[in-house]
A and B are shown apart, each in its own frame.
Chain A
Amino acid sequence: MSKRLAKKVLLIGWDAADWKVMYPLIEQGKMPTLAKFLSEGVHGKIQTLDPPLSPMLWTSMATGYRADKHGITGFVEPLADNSGMRPVTSTSRKVKAIWNILHQSGLKSNVVGWWPSNPVEPINGVMVSNLYQQASKEVGENWKMPDGTIHPQELTEKLASLRVHPKEINWQHILPFVPNLEQIDKEKDKTLKGIAKILAHASSIHSASTYLQRETEWDFMAVYHDAIDHFSHLCMKFHPPYRLGIPKEMYQNYNQVVNAGYMFHDMMLERSLQLADEDTTVILVSDHGFHSDHLRPKYFMKEPAAPAQEHSPFGMVCIKGPGIKKGEIMHGASVLDVTPTLLTLFGLPIGENMEGKPWLQAFEEEIKVDTIKDWEKEEGDAGQHPKDLQDDPWAAQEAMQQLIELGYIDAPDENIAERIREQKQESKYYVARNLIDGDKYDKGIAILEELVRDNPREVRYGQRLASCYLHKKQFGKCKDLIDNLKDLQRIIEEEESKMSEEELEKKNKSFMKEIELPNYIDFVEGQLLMHLNRTKKAMESFKKVEEKSPNSFDLFMNIGKVCLLRHKWDDAKEYYIKALSVDDTSANAHHGLGLSLLRSGDIEGALEELFICVTLKHDFPNAHYHIGEALVKYGEKENAANAFEAAVALSPGMTKAHRWLADLYQNELNNPEKAKVHLDFLDKNIKGEITIVSGLPRSGTSMMMQILDAAGMDMLTDKKREPDNNNPKGYYEFEPVKRLMVDKSWLPEAAGKTVKIIAQLLPFLPSTYNYKIIFMRRNMVEVLRSQQIMLGKEDEAKAEIFPVTLNEAFEKQLKKVEDWIETQANVEILNVNYADVIENPEEEFESILGFLNINGDLEKMKNMVSKKLYRNKVEKK
């Protein structure tokens, strides 16, 4: 068993706390407690999960699982009798929280305000639920707490008395938030009431927690504050700098609210730390950040929980205590890491099925971490709700629906039923997003396909699914779905154009004009086109998105990549700089910028960026490789060799790095011994480079062979197959290729040459050669039509009667080939679209020549392209 590293642990949650607001306040001396905390411990950013919805996130934090496992799937759930909705409850959680595991391990916890924690669980310690601070009644009346707010019951009266009612908040309290208070109409202004309510809630939670800190024995204490999130949703739009469109008067009145909210938290933190013993480990954490600068959205996508679009993907974390490093920065933390870290601090094993990892980099000494298969399988009292109280509300709702359909009970009011249905879909959507966020694409896609089938007019579900298809390289499905979504968008726009102003206003009620949706389709389409090497068209799609969403990190990264593919180095630089202005800790963005600088000849600048990249993410073989390239150009041959060594250490099959090393050791560094290691590797593993033209039969492979022949490439063909009507310019085939599955003896003959190999045979290529593959892409209907004609089935082809399974089978085969390519270090691929070669040959040829690193005669190449031969074209409808 691991040793216990912390005597006590105090975990404080500040929902939505963000360094972008706190760093300036720290610099100005306005958060002195936090400043001291940072110097005494380790701090950094924490990565949120998608979707960034607080009940799901705080439950992931307290369990170490995502929503599909922990069961909290949104803000609300149906009432047991189907008569309406209620805020999500703790009985819906399907797994043990950290306090249950500690209970099971004989440790005592106090939990205050965690979301969701009502009804409270019978743990060893005290639990104050998330409904504790809610003031539903006037202060003068009997301000009772809802059932299930306090455990144990005997503390109910005392803790109830410690709550602060919004009516107790007076102008003395508000003045630091609103220095302009005197000039505001206090009766009419709703923002002031909002501030009072948030402040009262925070004070209630803090009073309960300070009381429990002082008056009870505990090993672990968790306190959750939602006030920073609430102050931010209320007033971040008024936070400096001023933005056009914000009413000037409101800006003048409320531009200090967010800062004052943070400063109040610093004051509360001071007291919490005063009450903590010196040997207490303290963790301060948020679940996500909150956009506070130019990234503040002006519009929300039309969807439930839309305000979450103000959340940023990075929250904050700090940890201090015995054995924790001091004044250092931590990288790569996730909200999923909190429970594994807490277990490690208490010397308890981590569940092997937990998705996070303990923050070992924060400890002064190397820490041994034990694991256990699954905490859920550990039997014994864990202080959980009795089994009959634990419930999946959506499953219960479904059972209730069945009883309604069978006629045993009455259906709820139509509006309520529709609301429940919508929420159920939304809840599934959140789970799908959460799964995708955790790279569990297959499960996420299964849910999204069901959602799209059941809600064909809900564009968001389709967009997300299209994005998943793209990620899984199911390009055909992705394209079909994008086309469907565009059609749907047109239908919606048509419908809207026929609506009266009143109807339209009603439809868009509570939302700004919804502009993000078509935008997002363009974004996915842009990515699809980029994957298919249609870079010019991809750029057109991305530019459309940029007009309307000028601050998207993902967009900047994608445009940067397109620019690199198009050799537009200065444009690439511009977009990677833009990406870094959104997230300066992105290793990928620093790499992109470094590579752009390297290619444009700014070696010093490139090195600076690439070094930052590997500092942020050491496990990045390509970045080390490019550092090597830059250092060679800089004349630092020995350091270049070190960088290439780092690249091959991380990616042993990276032949281009081995080549550099062989060359450097042999010709520059006078180290024949080391050169031999890499020459042997190349000799043993790489017997040469073969250029391959591939794709499905009838996708334009013969035409590409003719083009490459015209470009001066050395072709491997036996010309046994004569030209015919289907391929009047010849097939450029090499008979032995057909036996590739069983006979590879002919491959040495192909080294240094270009050979045609159909897509399905590519995975049979041995890893002893480097391959440059030009992969022809063509509309599947055109491919099938052309194949049918070749088989003499002209009538079927004209009528587009193809075997129904053929399309799907080809898609699957292509996917298999793409998966294989992805895993091969010795394969480089360039996707070329048949239709683009016909339409814009010059642009395509430039990219092909760049890929092959040769100079070809463009005119000669163009002569190989004949529009007349594009006989099976699918016309756009």
Chain B
Amino acid sequence: MSDKKTEIEITEEGNLGILAYGDIAVEAWRRKRGPIKEEEEKEVDKKKKGSK
């Protein structure tokens, strides 16, 4: 098992460096970013439809 880690800058908007770093960076990015906008919009849509 390897636990080598290299620091990488995680920005909210993301970048190719994050994707290329793999699992750790992708998870960290998602934590910083939160749900993606479309996901949020759909959630809102669903709620609206549900409330009718």
Q: Mark A143-168, 1 if CB is under 8 A from B, else 0.
A: 00000000000000000011010011
- Contacts A164-B26, A213-B2, A277-B2 given; does A176 touch B16 at CB 8 Å: yes
Q: How far is the CA of A406 from the CA of B43 in the complex (A)?
A: 54
**Which 6 residue pairs of A and B lie closest in terms of their CB atoms, listed nearest first?**
A210-B22, A267-B20, A211-B23, A140-B42, A203-B19, A140-B39
Report yes or no: B43 in contact with A140, Cβ–Cβ below 8 A. yes
Binding site for B on A (CB under 8 A): 138-140, 161-162, 164, 167-168, 170, 172-173, 176, 199, 202-203, 206-211, 213-217, 264, 267-268, 270-271, 274-277
Report yes or no: A209 in contact with B36, Cβ–Cβ below 8 A. no
Report yes or no: B16 in contact with A267, Cβ–Cβ below 8 A. yes
Q: How far is the CA of A209 from the CA of B20 in the complex (A)?
A: 11
Instruction: Give the distance to chain B from A177, nearest Cβ to Cβ, in Å.
Output: 9
| B interface, over-half SS | helix
Chain B residues whose C-beta falls within 8 Å of the C-beta of A271 in the assembled complex: 20-22
Residue B4 CB within 8 A of the other chain: yes
Chain A residues whose C-beta falls within 8 Å of the C-beta of B24 in the assembled complex: 210, 214
- Contacts A206-B19, A271-B20 given; does A214 touch B39 at CB 8 Å: no
Contact among A210, A264, A270 with B23 in the assembled complex (CB-CB below 8 Å): A210
Given A164-B19, A170-B14, A172-B15: 5 more A-B contacts, CB < 8 Å:
A172-B13, A176-B16, A268-B22, A271-B22, A274-B4
Q: How far is the CA of A164 from the CA of B14 in the complex (A)?
A: 12
Chain B positions 1-52 with a Cβ under 8 Å from a chain A Cβ: 1-4, 6, 11, 13-17, 19-24, 26-27, 36, 38-39, 42-43
Q: How far is the CA of A279 from the CA of B4 in the complex (A)?
A: 15
Report yes or no: B43 in contact with A267, Cβ–Cβ below 8 A. no
Q: How far is the CA of A164 from the CA of B27 in the complex (A)?
A: 10
Q: What's the count of A-B pairs with C-beta under 8 Å? A: 78
Instruction: Give the distance to chain B from A659, nearest Cβ to Cβ, in Å.
Output: 64
Q: How far is the CA of A206 from the CA of B15 in the complex (A)?
A: 15
* Selected A-B contacts with CB under 8 Å, 6 pairs: A138-B42, A140-B38, A140-B42, A168-B14, A206-B20, A274-B6
Contact among A167, A214, A276 with B1 in the assembled complex (CB-CB below 8 Å): A214
- Contacts A210-B23, A264-B20 given; does A275 touch B42 at CB 8 Å: no
Q: How far is the CA of A210 from the CA of B24 in the complex (A)?
A: 8
Closest to A272 in B: B22
Binding site for A on B (CB under 8 A): 1-4, 6, 11, 13-17, 19-24, 26-27, 36, 38-39, 42-43
Chain B residues whose C-beta falls within 8 Å of the C-beta of A139 in the assembled complex: 36, 38-39
Chain A residues whose C-beta falls within 8 Å of the C-beta of B22 in the assembled complex: 206-207, 209-211, 268, 271
Report yes or no: A214 in contact with B23, Cβ–Cβ below 8 A. yes
Closest to B39 in A: A140
Q: How far is the CA of A264 from the CA of B2 in the complex (A)?
A: 23
Instruction: Give the distance to chain B from A195, nearest Cβ to Cβ, in Å.
Output: 12
Instruction: Give the distance to chain A from B37, nearest Cβ to Cβ, in Å.
Output: 9
Closest to B15 in A: A172
Instruction: Give the distance to chain B from A263, nearest Cβ to Cβ, in Å.
Output: 9
Chain A residues whose C-beta falls within 8 Å of the C-beta of B39 in the assembled complex: 139-140, 167
Instruction: Give the distance to chain B from A370, nearest Cβ to Cβ, in Å.
Output: 31
Q: Give the most central of A138, A164, A202: most B CB within 10 Å.
A: A164
Closest to B30 in A: A168
Report yes or no: A172 in contact with B36, Cβ–Cβ below 8 A. no
- Contacts A139-B39, A214-B2 given; does A170 touch B26 at CB 8 Å: no
Q: How far is the CA of A157 from the CA of B27 in the complex (A)?
A: 14
